Amino acid sequence: MATLQTFSSGADNGSTAEGLKPTKLGGNVAGLKSTPKQALDTHGNVFNVPDYTIKDILNAIPKHCYERRLLQSLSYVFRDILAMTIIGNIGYRLIPLVENVYARFVLWSVYSYLLGLFGFGLWILAHECGHGAFSDYTWVNDTIGWVLHSYLLVPYFSWKFSHSKHHKATGHLTRDMVFIPYTKKEYLEVKQKSKISEVAEETPIYTFFVLLFQQLGGLHLYLTTNATGQPHKDHSALGRSHFNPKSPIFDAKDYWFIVLSDIGMVSTFTVVYLWAKYFSVWSAFINWFIPFLWVNHWLVFVTFLQHTDPTMPHYDAEEWTFAKGAAATIDRNFGFVGQHIFHDIIETHVLHHYVSRIPFYNAREATDAIKKVMKDHYRYDGENMWKSLWKVMRSCQFVEGDNGVRMFRNVNGIGIKPSDLTEN
């Protein structure tokens, strides 16, 4: 493994405001400062810990970017619902007229995919409600957010409260709420318990099945058991669930809001049951269940890639600050869908972690403003996100570091070799 010693932090690393292009270090590294301000990422690039403050970020954002316009926000809700209605009315009537069974299968697949795209668009708008970025009115935000998230089987207030804590502690190894990586010690413990993992973990097929499980069931495994969140080892899996009003995830004052979130779940199951009973099981299946699976996929796909990357740091408690943690995120590019259907949640996520109450329709301007402060600390990757998903899954298995800054490592031979994995 490369040795972290002395390195000039003032050297030009070739970075631009459009993305991180750090210096590449090959072989053994000599000359890197032994301070908590630098580390080596997965590929041997020098990572410099941000040195600006949250005040610097906030001062750079134009004041009008904070303006929340209720009618404009509502227009996007109506637009997404209208799009789903048009797709449903046209597709559900015309596809059964196609005689060829294979052609029908393809058309139904495209049909449910399109409904899932706009369904995730609605999820993002409910997410805006949870942050208070939808409008100036809390009751409007919570009403719309509760309805939309409940329809998509996400407990609105439960998510709102845990997600708020995630924003307050992003990148903090012991306080963050989701996508918390294994430390090397934790990774070894899991490896020793799982014989299958020990034998198969370096194979691409193992990565494929882990990825498939994550994309299909990751969201509700997280909601039900707090998987990838803080372990809370003194509670059972269901005891730390997002559906449990007494979960350690929440404060005592949240109790009845969690109950209200659960009522939203029960209401959706009731509606879907009646839908299947009075129309048809097929109608509920193709118009709600399959799009619901797509929404699950998109949510895990997007959030995983926003918070996991070979260049991404995580911090021990003594090194973490809010400004550093918020920068431990990355913007990516999902083309037309990302900008126009997913409401820029992928392209402006770094800004979102600094100021979550800025509405998405002002986020690009605000992102341009904070780039001037963040400089080479701003992360952007324009690579195809499907390709990134595979690469990230293969290269980001656990984090290690002994100076308060932890960087991703793996046992798949990608990038820097981790330190001795026989350590206890």
Give 292-303 pLDDT, tens digit per residue: 999 999 999 999
pLDDT, residue 197, reads 52
pLDDT, residue 226, reads 74
- What's the pLDDT tens digit per position in 276-291? 999 999 999 999 999 9
- What's the pLDDT tens digit per position in 20-36? 334 344 333 444 444 55
What is the percent of the chain with per-residue pLDDT over 90, rounded to a whole number?
71
Q: What's the whole-number mean pLDDT along residues 87-91? A: 96
Largest CA distance in the chain: 72
pLDDT, residue 164, reads 92
Listed in sequence order, the residues at least 6 apart from 261 whose beta carbon sits closer than 8 Å to its beta carbon are 146, 150, 155, 156, 157, 158, 159, 242, 243
- Taking the domains of the chain in order of start, what are their residue ranges? 52-67+155-409
d(C-alpha 245, C-alpha 263), whole Å: 12
d(C-alpha 405, C-alpha 212), whole Å: 30
Q: What's the whole-number mean pLDDT along residues 366-393? A: 95
pLDDT, residue 198, reads 52
Q: How confident is the model at residue 248 (pLDDT cuts 50, 70, 90)?
A: confident
Q: How confident is the model at residue 76 (pLDDT cuts 50, 70, 90)?
A: very high
d(C-alpha 378, C-alpha 327), whole Å: 7
Q: What is the DSSP string of 370-408?
A: HHHHHGGG--EE-S-HHHHHHHHHHH-SEEE-SSSEEEE
- What's the pLDDT tens digit per position in 131-173? 999 999 999 999 999 999 999 999 999 999 999 999 999 999 9
pLDDT, residue 75, reads 98
Secondary-structure breakdown of the chain: helix, strand, coil percentages, each rounded to the nearest 5: 55, 5, 35
pLDDT higher than threshold 90 for residue 243: no
pLDDT, residue 25, reads 40
Radius of gyration of the chain (CA): 22
pLDDT, residue 218, reads 75
pLDDT, residue 201, reads 57
pLDDT higher than threshold 70 for residue 70: yes
CB 25 within 8 A of CB 399: no
How many CA atoms does the CB half-sphere of 197 hold within 13 Å? 11
Task: Identify which of 138, 140, 139, 160 has the alpha carbon closest to the alpha carbon of residue 149.
Answer: 160
CB 149 within 8 A of CB 155: yes
Q: How confident is the model at residue 185 (pLDDT cuts 50, 70, 90)?
A: confident
| Pair type for strands 182-183 and 398-400 | parallel
pLDDT higher than threshold 70 for residue 100: yes
Q: What's the whole-number mean pLDDT along residues 208-236? A: 75
- Structural tokens at position 157: 């207030």
pLDDT, residue 145, reads 98
Q: How confident is the model at residue 230 (pLDDT cuts 50, 70, 90)?
A: confident
CB 331 within 8 A of CB 37: no
pLDDT higher than threshold 90 for residue 126: yes
Q: What is the DSSP string of 76-95?
A: HHHHHHHHHHHHHHHHHHHG
The mean predicted confidence, pLDDT, of the chain is: 87
pLDDT higher than threshold 70 for residue 327: yes
Q: What's the whole-number mean pLDDT along residues 266-277? A: 97
pLDDT, residue 31, reads 41
- What's the pLDDT tens digit per position in 43-62? 999 999 999 999 999 999 99
pLDDT higher than threshold 90 for residue 354: yes
pLDDT, residue 348, reads 97
